[in-house]
């Protein structure tokens, strides 16, 4: 009975370690490569910059501007920059910069609020260019 208990504890420890080993924050260079010049399709969470759950689309131009079609269909405008290992986007409609970490677990990339650790969104796909023809 005692050995079964020790084996169970060992297995739980290995599973926990494996879960931690597969999660990784993207570096600033990786974030820039992922978003710059691309359209980012999102599944937003309650912790998103708009506070709305749903589908959103952001185009991050290579010149540092960003356009965001929110889940409510509103168009937001801003500028973005990589600061260390975060993407900071200053949305005119939000009034302050929103800095985010990007956490990759397997094939899933989550966008995490750098201040409070709350999930903002999950990336669905990232095709090149302004696929939705978003405009100010």
Does 17 reside within a domain? no
Residue 8 lies in a domain: no
Query: Does a structural domain hold residue 132?
Result: no
Please indicate, yes or no, if residue 89 is contained in any of the structural domains.
yes
Residue among 126, 90, 86 at smallest CA distance from 103: 86
What is the model's pTM? 0.82
Domain that holds residue 87: 24-125
Residue 15 lies in a domain: no
Task: Tokens for 112, please give them.
Answer: 């995490």
Domain assignment present for 85: yes
Q: Torsions phi, psi of 58, nearest 5?
A: -125, 135
Torsion of CA 66, 89, 91, 63, to 10 degrees: -30
pLDDT attached to residue 22: 54
* Tens digit of each residue's pLDDT (9 = 90 or more) over 62-80: 999 999 999 999 999 999 9
Give the count of domains, the chain: 1
Taking only the tens of pLDDT, the chain with its 136 residues reads: 555 444 444 444 444 444 444 579 999 999 999 999 999 999 999 999 998 999 999 999 999 999 999 999 999 999 999 999 999 999 999 988 889 999 999 999 999 999 999 999 999 999 999 999 999 8
What pLDDT, on the 0 to 100 scale, is given for residue 134?
A: 97
Is residue 76 in a domain? yes
Domain CATH number, residue 99: 2.40.128.640
Residue 95 within any structural domain of the chain: yes
């Amino acid at each position: 009975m005692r050995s079964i208990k020790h084996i169970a504890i060992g297995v739980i420890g290995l599973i926990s370690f494996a879960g931690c080993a597969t999660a990784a924050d993207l570096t600033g260079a990786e974030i820039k490569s992922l978003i710059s010049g691309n359209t980012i399709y999102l599944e937003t969470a309650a912790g998103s910059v708009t506070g709305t759950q749903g589908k959103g689309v952001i185009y991050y131009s290579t010149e540092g501007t960003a356009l965001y079609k929110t889940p409510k269909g509103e168009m937001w405008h801003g500028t973005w920059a990589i600061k260390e290992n975060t993407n900071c986007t200053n949305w005119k409609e939000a009034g302050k910069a929103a800095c985010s970490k990007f956490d990759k677990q397997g094939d899933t990339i989550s966008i995490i609020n750098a201040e409070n650790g709350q999930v903002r969104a999950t990336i669905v796909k990232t095709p090149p260019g302004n696929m939705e023809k978003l405009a100010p």
